[in-house]
Chain A
Amino acid sequence: MNDSNVPAFELGDSLATRCGNTLTGVFLPGSRIALSAYRHVTHKSRDTPTETAGQDPVLIYLAQETTLFDEPVLRSVLAEANATFATLQQLGPRTTRAEYVNISRAYRSIVRSCLEKLEQAKKSPDVQTDEPRLRRFSDAIVVFYAAECLWHLFEILYIQNNQLVVPQLLDWARFHSPQTEDRATDLLLMAEEASESDDYWSILKSLIMLGEIDVTRAILSQNRKTGQPAFKAAELILKSMPVYQEGYALQKFHSQWEYWHVDTERKIQSGVFATEPELELVIQLVVGNSEQWDAGIKESQDCYEYLPGYLLSTKPTCKPFELRIAAANWLNRWHLLRPERELCSMNRMVAQLMDHDIKLFIYEAQKLNDTHWFSTHLIDLIHHCGQLKSYFDQNNIDLPALRHSMIYEYGSYLMTSHNLWQLGIDYLDCCKQEGQAAIELLLPRISLRSERQATKLINLARQRGLTSVEQEICKVLSKQSYDKERYGNALEWAIRSKDVLLVTADADFILKHYSRTGNMLCPDTIANVGGRMFISPRLVFLSKYYEFYEFYRTRDFLSASELLVNLLESRITPDYFWPSLLIDSMPLLESKDPKIFAKETVAILHHIETELVPIIERDVSKYGNHHTETVFKDYRVENVDEILNLMRLACARNLARALIIENAMPVA
C-alpha cells in the first residue's frame, strides 16, 4: 500500500537489453498491456535496417494486473457486494438515512465476513505450505482490513451524521485494536489472581485510553485490595463519570462534567491515591492528564488508536466539525512524541477523513490494491445518500461523473476478467449509453464454453435488447457447428441468428449435398423447422422439398406430385436445384397410372424449356460442349443435358395419357 511498492515489470530479453532495456506497450481490452522491446526512432534518425536485425526474436509480453480476486474466498466479496450494490440502486429518492446506514453496514459486514474467512483459510495447511498463496492471503487481509476500517470511520463521520461522534469513534477504535480487549478478557477470567500478572497496570491504562471505563471498573473490582479506600475512591470516580446521552441538555452536562473533572483532580492532589501510585496514574489518564497521555502515546501501536479515548476524557461532547481541530492537534502531538514513526497510507487516509478532506481521501482510496472495489462502492454510496453534495459542489468535483466513471471502469474490469461477467454486467447497466455500448462490445467476447452458457449470454443480451449481440453469438455457434459437420445444429443456430444469408447458405449446403449424393442431411431438424422456415425463402424451399421427399419415401405419390408441382410453380427454386427437382418428377411422369394432370404436365414441360434449358446452355457456353465440370450435378445422372430428351419424352407420354383419362371422365 505504499507508493514505493508500485509493481514494476522489466522485459530483460536480449532484444530489449540491446537498446538499453527500453520497452513500449499497448493497452489491450481486459486491462492488459502488450509489451515489447523498443528503440527510440525520430524523424532525424537514418532510415536504415538495424545492424542486428533478425538476430534476436521479437518477443511480445502480456502484462496483466494481478488481482486479489483470483482467490476463490474473495469472490464472495464481489458477489455479495454486487447484490448490495443492486439493492442500493433500487432505493428511491425518499430513502431515510437509516436505510443508507444499513447499506453501509451491509457492505462492511461483507468485508468482515470475508476477513474472517481469510483468516480461517490462512491457517489451513494447504495455504500455509504455499508461500505465494500465503502472501496473497496476507496482502488481502491487509487491504480489506484497511477498507473496513476506513469505511467504518467514513460511516460514522459522514453517513450517520450524528451530532456526537465520540461514542461511535470509541467503538471504531476498539474494533480495530482488539488486542487490549483480548487481554482484558484474560484478566477478567483470572479474577483475583489477575492483580499479580505483570502487565496488569499497563492493560488497565490501555483500557482507559480506549475509553473502556466499565471494563476497567470490572477488573479493578476483582483486585485483592478492592476494599481499600484508594480503590473505593477510584471506583467512585469511574462510576460517577458523566456520560453524555443524546437529548441531554448540553449546558447541564457540561457543568456536571466540569464538576466531576475538578473534583477528581482535587482528589488526586489531596493524595487519595498516594498509597497506590499505579492506580493514581490510571485516574490521571481518566481526567486527561497530558503527561500521562504523552506516556501512553509513546506506547501506542497506531497513531489513531487512543484519539477517541483522549476525546472522551477531555472533550466528550466533541462535534464532527471540532474533530478536525482535535485530530490535527493529536497528530502533531503524536509526531512530536514519536518522530521516528512515519504515517502509513492508512493513517494518512484516516487523517484525511477526520480533516474533512474527502477529495484526497478518494484519491488515496483508489490506490488500494483491490481493483477499486472499495472506492467504487463507497463513491456510489456517497452519491446516493447525498450527504456530501455541498462539499463536492464547493470543491468543483462532479460527483455523478466521478461515480459514473468509477462504476464503468469497475464494471468493464469484471466483464473482461473471465467468469466474473455476470457480476460486471450489473455495474455497466448503471452507466447509461456508455455501459450499454460496453456490454455490446464485451458480451460477445466472453468465450463460449457450452451451449448452455451461450443461452445464458443470449438471455442477457435479449433482456437488454441487444439484438446484434444475440445474433453474433448465434452466428459464431452456427459456424462452429458447421465446422464440426453438425449441420442440423448449425442450421438451428443460423435460424436463431435471424441472419437470412447464413440460413440461406446452410440450406444451400444441405440442398447441394442432397443433389450430389442423394443423402438428406439432418432430416430430423428440417422436419421440425415449422414456422421458423419463413426466415429465408431457401429454407422454405428446403422444408417443402423435404416434405415432398418424405411423401415420396412413404410412397404417397399423389401428395408428392401435388407438392412437386407446387414447388415448380413457386419460383423459389434455386438454379442449381432445377435438375434434381425435374429429375424427381420423372418417375412420377413415367408411372403406370398417371399422377400428374395434363395442365401440370404442360407446366413441367414449360419449366424444362424455360428454366433448365437456359441454364444448361449457359453452362455449355461457359465450359464447352463435352464438359464434365457441370455446375449442376445430380447423383442420378452424369450429365444433365443427356436426360433432357428423356424428360421431354416422359412429359409427352404423361401428357398423352393424362389428356385421354381426363377427357374420358364421365361428364356429370
Chain B
Amino acid sequence: MSMANVSTHYISEKVARVRWLPEQLQQSERFVTGSWDMDRNFVRLWRLQSNQYATATESDNVDNVPRCMDKVAMEDDVTAMEFVDKDTLAVSCADGHLSVFNVQRAVEEDQMQRTARSERLHCFQRSQESAPCTDLSVYGTDIATAGEDGCVNIVSVGNVRQVKRTIEADSMALFSICYISQHELVAANRMGVIRMLDGRVATEAQPKLTFMVASQDDKSSNFVSSLSTHPMQQHILLCGSEEGSITVWDLRNLNYPASYLSAHKSPINEIGFHRKDPSKLFTAAEGGEVWMWSENKVLGCDSSKKDGNSPWLSGDRVRSLVDVEGVLTNIRKAVNSFDVHGSRLVCGGDTEAVYLVDNIA
C-alpha cells in the first residue's frame, strides 16, 4: 500500500455517488459523479487526462487529472447511481424519480444524455409529496429502487415508465436495497431491520422474513446504511451500519449473523467488494475514511479451496483472517461513495472533492 498514490481534485460539488464506467479489458478512464445538497445538482461525466502541469520531480506527481466532459442537471439530490450495462446508467433522485442515462464514449468529447425518466416512484400517501428515493440495486435489466416511503419499486431498464412491481415493504424509511438473486431482494430500514423481498409476488404475499443488524447497544437504533453481497457467493450479505460496524449474514442461515465486526466510528456510507477480486472489500465511512479489507493469503489459502467457506462467515475469527488497511484517512468529512476498477479507486464525499487512488493493492 505504500505505493498507493492519492490525488485530490476539488470539484465544487458535494458528491453523493461515484461510479467508474465499466470496461472489460482495460483500466477505466472515465467515471460519473452525482451531487447532492447543491443549488443545482448534476450528474457529471469525467475523464482522466494526463496532467499538463506534471513536473519532473517524481515524489508528488499527479499523473491524471479528471476533466468534466459532460453534465446533466438533475431536479434534486442524486441519491444512487449504478451501471446497468456498459453505457447505461440508472440514477435515482431525491424527488422520487428514476432516470436512465446513456453514455457515449468518444475519442475527443464523451457525451451523456438522459434517455428516460420514470413516473414518480416514491411518494408519501397522505400528503402526496414526493418521497426521496434512497437507493437502487440492479440485477440484469431490472432496477429496484427503495424510498423513504418504505416502498420498493421494480422497473425494467427498457421501459422505466412502467413499474413492474411495487412492494409496500415497510412502514419506515428504507435506507438501502440490494439484489441477492434474480428475484429476491433485501431492503433495510432505519431501525436496522433487513427484510427479504420477492420481486415476483405482491405486497400481501411477501415472505415474512426479517433479520436485524447486530448492534453494540440494543437500546438505541442502528440503521443499515449500506448493503452488499459477495460477487461470487451471493449468499454472503454484508451490512454496514450507523455505528460503523459490519454485520455479515449467511443467507442460508438466518438464525443468527455469521460475523460481526466493529470497524469505523461513524456510519458506513458504502460497502462493497472489488468487482473482479472478491478477496478485497472496501468500506467508506461518514468520518472520512476508506478502508480496504483483504483476506489474509497465508491463513486463508486453504479455506478458499473449500468451496463456500468464506472467511467472512467465520464468526469471531474474521479478524485474524482479514487484514485492514486505511486507503484514505483523515479526510474529516464524509466519504459518501467509492468505486474500484482494476487497480484504481475513486471516491468522493462532502469535502467537495474526488480522490483518485492508484495502485490499490
A binding-site residues for B, Cβ under 8 Å:
70, 72-76, 79-80, 82-83, 86, 419, 422, 426, 449-453, 455-456, 459, 463, 483-489, 492, 495-496, 521-522, 524-525, 528-532, 534-535
Contact = CB atoms under 8 A, between A and B. Distances in A.
A528 B267 contact: no
Given A72-B12, A528-B191, A83 B219 contact: no
B11 A76 contact: yes
B173 A489 contact: yes
A254 to B, nearest CB: 36
Nearest to A426: B332
B333 A422 contact: yes
Nearest to A474: B221
B46 interface: no
Contacts of A486: 124, 126, 149-150, 171-172
Contact of B220 (A483, A487, A532): A532
Given A72-B38, A422-B333, A492-B191, A451 B126 contact: no
Contacts of A463: 266
A585 B352 CA distance: 61
B77 A450 contact: yes
B10 interface: yes
A524 B170 contact: yes
Nearest to B134: A452
B194 to A, nearest CB: 10
A456 B334 contact: yes
Contacts of A484: 124-127, 129
B145 to A, nearest CB: 14
A488 B14 contact: no
Interface string B83-111: 00000000000100000000000000000
B359 interface: no
A532 B215 CA distance: 12
A577 B94 CA distance: 41
B132 interface: yes
Main secondary structure of the interface of A (DSSP, over half): helix
A482 to B, nearest CB: 10
Interface string B219-253: 11101010000000000000000100000000000
A487 B124 CA distance: 12
Interface in B171-191: 171-173, 175, 190-191
Contacts of B37: 419, 449, 453
Contacts of A82: 351
Contact of A459 (B175, B220, B267, B332): B267
A79 B332 contact: no
Interface of B: 10-14, 36-39, 77, 79, 94, 124-127, 129, 132, 134, 148-150, 170-173, 175, 190-191, 193, 210, 212, 218-221, 223, 225, 242, 266-267, 286, 332-334, 350-353
A75 B353 CA distance: 11
A358 B156 CA distance: 66
B77 A449 contact: yes
Contacts of A426: 332
B126 to A, nearest CB: 4
Nearest to B94: A450
A79 B353 contact: yes
Contacts of B210: 524, 528
Contacts of A79: 10, 12, 351-353
Nearest to B223: A455
B353 to A, nearest CB: 7
Nearest to B219: A531
In the A-B complex, list the 5 residue pairs whose CB atoms are closest, starting with the nearest: A488-B171, A531-B218, A79-B352, A76-B10, A522-B171
Contact of A525 (B39, B129, B172, B353): B172
A495 B36 CA distance: 28
Contacts of A531: 218-219
Contacts of B221: 492, 495-496, 532
Contact of A451 (B12, B38, B127, B132): B132
Contacts of A455: 223, 225, 242, 267
B212 A492 contact: no
Nearest to B124: A484
Given A489-B190, A492-B221, 7 more contacts: A72-B12, A76-B352, A79-B353, A80-B10, A451-B173, A521-B171, A525-B191
B171 A525 contact: yes
A76 B12 contact: yes
Contacts of B219: 531-532, 534-535
A408 B220 CA distance: 34
Contacts of A456: 286, 334, 350
A66 B225 CA distance: 38
17 contacts: A74-B12, A80-B10, A419-B37, A449-B132, A450-B134, A450-B148, A452-B79, A452-B132, A455-B223, A456-B350, A483-B127, A484-B124, A488-B150, A522-B172, A524-B193, A530-B212, A531-B218
Nearest to A496: B221
A340 to B, nearest CB: 41
A530 B220 CA distance: 10
Contacts of B148: 450-451
A76 B48 CA distance: 19
A586 B219 CA distance: 35
Given A72-B13, A449-B37, A452-B175, A528 B212 contact: yes
